[in-house]
A and B are shown apart, each in its own frame.
Chain A
Amino acid sequence: MVIRELPSAATDLTEGPASDAPPRTVGRRRLRRAVVGTALFAGLPAALFALWWALSAGSTSFFFPPLSRIVDTFGTTWTPTRIGQDVLPSLVRLLAGFALAGVVGIALGVLIGSVPRLAWALGPTLAFLRAVPPPLLVPAIMLVLGIGDGMRITVVAVGCVWPVLLNTVDGVRSIDPLARDTVAGLHLSAVQRLRHLVLPAAGPRIAAGLEQALSLALVMVVISEMFAARDGLGRSILVFSQTFAIPAMWSGILLLGVLGILLAFGFRAVQRWALAWWFGATGAVR
């Protein structure tokens, strides 16, 4: 009887394909895989850091100080007060702009992806807007919105909306016609179709777009803070370089990198949770 197959399917979910081997071997194999994985994962950054450390150790160049000095400066520069005053505002702007880009990009993307004529009509306009380098938009946006947080959040949103928009359009367009037939036969309303078919079906593509957008958002927030800012990570790094506080400037760049890593990891954790079905159904592992 077919139903008997369920237990094996259910165990596969937790045990993985190697479940026919004795448990002890599996545990050991898994441990080894984890160790090797971590070594590969963290090894390259560590090696690069060590290389930088060694090559810069005897440096007397004013612009390329030894890494040891940069690390020393890091602790004295990025005090909790400074993090609260300069890093936190940047993060808030980044997340606000990213969220705005996400909402606008997904909404427009679903609309454009659902109406082929709209995609056709908007094609040239979108291609034009996309071709404008976002940093050039900062002065223009400043003229309209002034120099407050609204301007900076808008700069971030405008800069990182494209990957969300384009991936959403593709995701919506590539929804299986049979899935559309299925919901047509089930008499779902437009809102129900959006919620139960369109958004989840396009979800993996939307997530790919959001991931690209997040790394762009970090770039955009720093750029926006290089124009007429009173605080922010971008402004700090700019001021350090203009006042020849070179080790502090490098420590700011290091901090940017660390933030980038944390954001990417945070995003992946959310993605794994929200798209658990997709990772399960496709067996995709990253």
Chain B
Amino acid sequence: MSAEPRPPTASGLSLDGVGHDYLRDGRPVPALAPVSLDIPAGQFACVIGPSGSGKTTLVRAMAGLLRPSRGTVRVGGAPVTGPPTGLAMVHQEYGRSLFPWKTVRDNVDLALLNSGRGQRDRRAAVTEALHLVGLPDVERAYPWQLSGGMQQRVAIARAVVAQPRILLMDEPFAAVDAQTRADLEDLVRDLWHRLPLTVVFVTHDIDESVYLGQRVVVLGRPPAGVRADVPVPLPDRRDQVTTRAAVEFTDLRAELYGQIAAAKLG
């Protein structure tokens, strides 16, 4: 993919002191220390952190699925109070977020049901989205007839079919094998190049965050919030072999390993 400028229609995302406590036996347990971040429109940002650092809490707050105890999430400048329009999410567990009673086509169509578009128009959009993720021939299959990697492609098609401006991905490739994972990583980079998207990609895999992102945010366990926020000094054009062998890649990866190790110690 060439380095085109991002089309201007993506939305930015900003977090202002967003923190969250869970109640356990009536007492608040900190899950996410206050985080302030500004993710400009069109950016590809990765979020990493050790388990217990509140990555999933953060992404659920961004998606409007969880009301944080403190702070404000803004999408395109507007405060988030519920799932915002123009924002789509891909979950780690494709097997649970795709509906087994619906065909692949109908699963993708779910995202368009409330769009007010006619059936023929929606059908065309679904076909296009499935082409975009490299699944042209499975519209009539059921998700459970497909491999894990293909199911996650269906979930990605459902996320992009309604032309969102922000795509949130919560450890989306943690459950697939290495080769499939590499293919899916390149797919996400490719979609980001072709569509006007801001991508927030949460992962526990340091290499994946460096390979994918323009920027890597390292979360620490509470009471630490953002421990590090580093730009990725890699060219826009990336591939699995040369990018991962580049000095910039290995240097940043080593630095982030250090950050994560420090974050684990607290």
B88 & A185 in contact (Cβ 8 Å cutoff): yes
Whether A281 contacts B137 in the complex (CB less than 8 A), given A2-B153, A3-B150, A186-B110, comes out as: no
The residues in B between 143 and 181 inclusive whose CB is less than 8 angstroms from any CB of A are 144-147, 149-150, 153, 180
What per-residue 1/0 map shows which CB atoms of A17-49 lie under 8 Å from chain B?
A: 000000000000000000000000000000000
Interface-located stretch among B97-105, B119-127, B256-264: B97-105
Q: Which of B180-231 contact A (CB under 8 A)?
A: 180, 183
B89 within 8 A of A: yes
Contact between B180 and A2 (Cβ–Cβ < 8 Å)?
Answer: yes
Q: Determine if A281 and B83 form an interchain contact, defined as CB atoms under 8 angstroms apart.
A: no
Q: A88-96, A104-112, A126-134, A173-181: which lies at the B interface?
A: A173-181
Chain B residues bordering chain A, tally (CB within 8 A): 38
A138-173 residues at the B interface, CB under 8 angstroms: none
Residues of B within 8 A of A182 (CB): 91, 97
Q: Does B48 contact A (CB under 8 A)?
A: no
B65 touches A179 (CB 8 A): no
Contacts of A277 in B (CB 8 A): 100-102, 142
B187 to chain A, nearest CB (A): 10
CA distance A13 to B60 in the complex (A): 37
* Set A13, A184, A201: member contacting B145, Cβ < 8 A: A13
Q: Is A15 an interface residue (CB 8 A)?
A: no
Q: Is the CB of B114 within 8 A of A181?
A: no
A179 in contact with B137 (CB, 8 Å): no
* Residues of chain A in range 169-206 having any CB-CB distance to chain B below 8 Å: 176, 178-179, 181-189, 192, 196-197, 200-201, 203
- Give min CB distance, A161 to chain B, whole Å: 25
Interface range for A:
20 to 34
Which of chain B's residues have a CB closer than 8 A to the CB of A3? Answer: 134-137, 150
Given that A2-B180, A12-B145, A181-B65 are known contacts, is A196 also in contact with B110, CB under 8 Å in the complex? yes
**How near does chain A come to B94, taking the closest CB pair, in angstroms?**
10
How many Å lie between the Cα of A7 and that of B97 in the bound state? 24
Q: Mark A232-276, 1 if CB is under 8 A from B, else 0.
A: 000000000000000000000000000000000000000000000
What is the total of A-B residue contacts with beta carbons within 8 Å?
93
A123 at the interface (CB under 8 A from B): no
Is B78 located at the chain interface by the 8 A CB criterion? no
Contacts of A278 in B (CB 8 A): 100-101
- Determine the main DSSP class of A at the interface with B: helix
Say which residue of A179, A203, A281 sits within 8 Å of B97 (CB atoms): A179
**Given contact pairs A2-B149, A178-B97, A281 touches B144 in the complex (Cβ within 8 A):** yes
Please state if A185 and B89 are interface contacts (CB–CB under 8 Å).
Answer: yes
A9 located at the interface, meaning its Cβ lies under 8 Å from any Cβ of chain B in the complex = yes
B234 in contact (CB, < 8 A): no
Give the contacting residue for B114; candidates A6, A13, A187, A203; CB below 8 A.
Answer: A187
Taking a contact as CB atoms under 8 Å apart, the answer to whether A9 and B113 are in contact is no
A121 CB–B CB distance under 8 Å: no
Q: Assess whether B114 is in contact with A188, with CB atoms less than 8 Å apart.
A: yes
Is B85 interfacial (CB 8 A cutoff)? Answer: yes
Q: How far is the CB of A157 from chain B (nearest CB, A)?
A: 28
Complex CA–CA separation, A280 to B100 (angstroms)? 9
Which residues of A have CB within 8 Å of B89? 181, 185
A10 proximal to B (CB < 8 A): yes
| A186/B183 in contact, CB under 8 A | no
B218 → A minimal CB distance (Å): 26
Residues of B within 8 A of A183 (CB): 110
How far apart are the CA atoms of A88 and B81 in the complex, in Å? 58
CA distance in complex: A28, B146 (Å): 29
- Say whether A281 contacts B180, CB under 8 Å: no
Asked whether B96 lies within 8 Å of A179 as measured between CB atoms, the reply is yes
Q: A203 — nearest CB in chain B belongs to which residue?
A: B101
Closest to A277 in B: B101
Does B93 interact with chain A (Cβ within 8 Å)?
Answer: yes
Collect the chain B residues with CB atoms within 8 Å of residue A201's CB. 99, 101
Told that A176-B96, A187-B85 touch, could you supply 18 new A-B pairs with CB distance under 8 A?
Answer: A2-B149, A2-B150, A3-B134, A3-B137, A3-B150, A5-B146, A5-B150, A9-B146, A10-B145, A178-B96, A179-B96, A182-B91, A185-B87, A186-B113, A196-B99, A196-B110, A203-B101, A280-B144
- Chain A residues in contact with chain B, CB under 8 A? 1-3, 5-6, 9-10, 12-13, 176, 178-179, 181-189, 192, 196-197, 200-201, 203, 277-278, 280-281
Q: List 14 A-B contacts (CB under 8 A).
A: A1-B134, A2-B147, A2-B183, A6-B138, A9-B146, A178-B96, A179-B96, A179-B97, A179-B99, A181-B60, A181-B89, A181-B97, A185-B65, A196-B113
